[in-house]
Amino acid sequence: MDGPAGVGKSTVGQLVAKELGYRFINTGEMYRALTWKALERGLDLADEAAVLALAESLKWDFKAVDGGVALKTFVDGEGVSARIRDERVGANSSLVAANRGVRRFMCRLQRRLGRGGGIVMEGRDIATHVFPDADFKIYLDASIDERAARRYRQLKAAGVAADRQKIKEAILTRDLNDLKRKINPLAQAADALVIDSTRLNLHQVADRILKAVRAAHGG
């Protein structure tokens, strides 16, 4: 499953995975985790060789926590999920995600995780590059205003101060970076089911996907 920032891929992906008895992986976590570590170590993110060397030096594990379907990212034994959500990591992750060696490294990890099947994986290049032979491909989209509104509501619900305009600008910048990147940019796979979720809630999106998956696989 691929799609732009803030479109609900993780929520939808987990609903679908749960229903199918599959695992779920958010591959953005991997790029964010590396960005967080690189910032923590004071690396110049534009130094591609140094950032790749850091990726290769870390121990990467993916484990389910609290009985959930999601395999969460652990780096050198430490769960990173909470630390990688802030805007500083999000904004800087575009640079790390444009690093050719890093993308090759992450792709290897992702292919290893998906080797046995039974997994919903979401990101930007999963259906186009990482798993071109996936059993089922989904491209999830929504208008920029709807994505900004969802992110705003999420932050408010979590008790975080949020500025609607700033959120929209941050999402637009991320979209642009993901779309114009030279290596494996965000794109729709030709054979993906494309869903515009602007006027659907995320449960409706998950239901639509499940119906299509079951129809395609005879059940």
- The residues binding ligand DC (CB under 6 A) are 5, 27-28, 31-32, 93-94, 97, 123-126, 174, 178
Nearer Cβ to ligand DC (4/209): 4
Nearer to ligand DC, 21 or 46 (CB): 46
- State the nearest-atom distance from the C-beta of 57 to ligand DC, in Å: 20
Q: Using an 8 Å Cβ cutoff, are 202 and 12 in contact?
A: yes
- Which residues, 6+ apart, have CB-to-CB distance to 49 below 8 Å? 101
Cα of 134 vs its chain's centroid, Å: 17
Residue number with CB closer to ligand DC (169 or 211): 169
Q: 13 vs 219, which CB is nearer to ligand DC?
A: 13
**Residue 27 vs 69, nearer CB to ligand DC:** 27
**How many other C-beta atoms can be found within 10 angstroms of the C-beta atom of residue 66?**
6
Q: Which amino acid is at 70?
A: A
What's the closest the beta carbon of residue 110 comes to ligand DC, in angstroms? 7
**Gap between the Cα atoms of 57 and 200, Å rounded:** 42
Contact 108, 63 (CB under 8 A): no
Alpha carbon 165 to chain centroid, angstroms: 23
Task: Write down the least CB distance from residue 15 to ligand DC, Å.
Answer: 17
Question: What's the token pair of residue 170?
Answer: 């941050």
d(CA 218, CA 135): 13
Closest contact distance (angstroms) between CB of 32 and ligand DC is: 5
CB of 214 to ligand DC, least distance (A): 26
CB of 27 to ligand DC, least distance (A): 4
Give 21 or 148: the residue with its C-beta nearer to ligand DC: 148
